[in-house]
Amino acid sequence: MKETYGDNAPLYDLVKRWHHEFKHGPSAIDEASIRQVEVAILEDRRITIRQIAQDVKISAGSVETIIHDNLHMHKVSARWIPRLLTPFQKRERVECSRMNLEMCQEDESKFFKRLITEDETWVDHYDPETKAQSLQWKNLDLPPPKKARVQPSTGKVMLTVNFSVSLSIL
């Protein structure tokens, strides 16, 4: 460059900075892009980094930096549970447990001598969502997501479990 431009040639450090900016592009991480990424994730927690990059029109690397460093999010799999209980069902289970505890406190040895439990449920045949399919973005301070089976299946089987508890109380 000195031969071509002589004394008007830019300094080596300036050329080096231009090269770096040309190679890596300008930083796309500003408040507007952080907000756009956050809105995209909150609209669809299963959105991929590539989809966000296309929507926001910034690089995937910038999206990753925003998600991890600015929004403090990471992707987790939903924890599978057989079904999500309604508030009424939760209250009923608490009340039943409370009654059993009261009976146990009245006469512990008598309670455990006559305790027989049974659980009966219909077990559906279905193909659960894979772990990769259930990945979702979440903040570090939120609990992991839960998922319940919601699709009816092609077949059912009745599952019944009985057991008796005998404890000797010393």
**Is pLDDT of 10 > 90?**
no
In this structure, the answer to whether residues 90 and 156 fall within a common structural domain is yes
pLDDT of 170: 47
Last residue of a domain, one of 44, 71, 98: 71
In this structure, the answer to whether residues 94 and 143 fall within a common structural domain is yes
170 within domain boundaries: no
In this structure, the answer to whether residues 18 and 94 fall within a common structural domain is no
8 within domain boundaries: yes
Distance (Å, rounded) from C-alpha 52 to C-alpha 63? Answer: 7
135 in Cβ contact with 76 (< 8 Å): yes
Strands (E), 43-144: 73-77, 79-81, 116-125, 135-139
In this structure, the answer to whether residues 65 and 125 fall within a common structural domain is no
What is the DSSP code string of 2-70?
A: HHHHGGGSPPHHHHHHHHHHHHH-S---SHHHHHHHHHHHHH-TT--HHHHHHHHTS-HHHHHHIIIII
Q: 30-57: string of b/e by CB count within 10 Å (b at 16+)?
A: eeebbebbbebbeeeeebebeebbeebe
Q: What average pLDDT does this structure show over 50-75?
A: 90
Last residue of a domain, one of 54, 71, 88: 71
62 within domain boundaries: yes
- Evaluate if pTM is beyond 0.75: no
**Token output for 110:** 């008598």
169 within domain boundaries: no
In this structure, the answer to whether residues 89 and 143 fall within a common structural domain is yes
Mean pLDDT (the chain, rounded): 80
Q: How many domains does the chain have?
A: 2
In this structure, the answer to whether residues 131 and 151 fall within a common structural domain is yes
Q: What average pLDDT does this structure show over 116-134?
A: 69
pLDDT of 160: 67
